[in-house]
Chains A and B, each alone.
Chain A
Amino acid sequence: EVQLVQSGAEVKKPGESLKISCKGSAYLFSNYWIGWVRQMPEKGLEWMGIINPVDSDTRYSPSFQGQVTISVDKSINTAYLQWSRLKASDSAMYYCARHGEMLIGDRWGQGTLVTVSS
């Protein structure tokens, strides 16, 4: 069964760094881009960016450019979303999704809840 398994919930302080992960299984990882979506508490979905596992070509939404870094390690079928200095406003659920020939995200991870609080 195709799965995207994300790392567990995180509680961090403002100014700390964080890297969360998304591991794909039961499909050819290099054939699908991995995208990231933010969902703030009780809010809608926001597209953050997407990465090609083959060559790490990355596209960011202007809203998130410079605020996060998306990366990938194709040797272990894992994509990452990273912050160098967290803010309280980064508190949200973060989802990864795979994007293949259809372009749209057809399978999603279970989400990683990030809480940033002093």
Chain B
Amino acid sequence: EIVLTQSPGTLSLSPGERAALSCRASQPIISKYLGWYQQKPGQAPRLLIYDVSSRATGIPDRFRGSGSGTDFTLTISRLEPEDFAVYYCHQYGTSPWTFGQGTMVEIK
């Protein structure tokens, strides 16, 4: 199975700062099938990005996905108070589909 390793485990930043979250795959991701979810405490995950760089419906353009092969990044250009949460990368190109272990973005 494809193992997704996210870094850092925790990112401590202030509102207005830029966040860069990394996701590295143990083997190349097929057909750009890499996405990102945001999860807040007590809530279900919310889809942010699919197919590496496509924003889901209603997702603001401060969220940007990029990358290829085995290295992917989610960038949040300017953190808003509501962006402090846990973020998971997810590959859905090779069965079994897998998730990264998550990156927590916390208020510094």
Taking Cβ atoms with an 8 Å cutoff, the residues of A that contact B are 35, 37, 44-47, 50, 59-63, 95, 99, 102-111
Q: For the complex, is B47 an interface residue (Cβ under 8 Å from A)?
A: yes
Taking Cβ atoms with an 8 Å cutoff, the residues of B that contact A are 1, 33, 35, 37, 39, 44-47, 50-51, 56-57, 88, 90, 92, 95-102
Cβ contact within 8 Å between A62 and B45: no
Which residues of the other chain, B, contact A99 by a CB distance below 8 angstroms? 92
- Output the residue of B44, B51, B90, B99 with the most chain A CB within 10 A: B44
Cβ contact within 8 Å between B102 and A110: no
Cβ contact within 8 Å between A105 and B47: yes
Cβ contact within 8 Å between A44 and B99: yes
Cβ contact within 8 Å between A104 and B44: no
- From residue A52, how far is it (CB to closest CB) to chain B in Å? 14
- From residue B52, how far is it (CB to closest CB) to chain A in Å? 11
Residues of A contacting B: mostly:
strand
- Output the residue of A35, A37, A47, A99 with the most chain B CB within 10 A: A47
Q: How far is the CA of A61 from the CA of B94 in the complex (A)?
A: 11
Which residues of the other chain, A, contact B45 by a CB distance below 8 angstroms? 37, 45, 95, 105, 108
Besides A45-B39, A59-B95, A111-B44, 14 other A-B contacts (C-beta < 8 A): A35-B97, A44-B99, A44-B100, A45-B88, A45-B99, A46-B99, A47-B97, A47-B99, A60-B96, A61-B95, A61-B96, A104-B35, A105-B47, A108-B46
Which residues of the other chain, B, contact A45 by a CB distance below 8 angstroms? 37, 39, 45, 88, 90, 99, 102
Cβ contact within 8 Å between A110 and B44: yes
In order of increasing CB-CB distance, the 4 nearest A-B pairs are: A61-B96, A108-B44, A45-B99, A47-B97
Closest to B34 in A: A104
Cβ contact within 8 Å between A109 and B47: no
- From residue B3, how far is it (CB to closest CB) to chain A in Å? 12
Q: Which single member of A47, A95, A103, A108 contacts B96 (CB below 8 Å)? A: A47
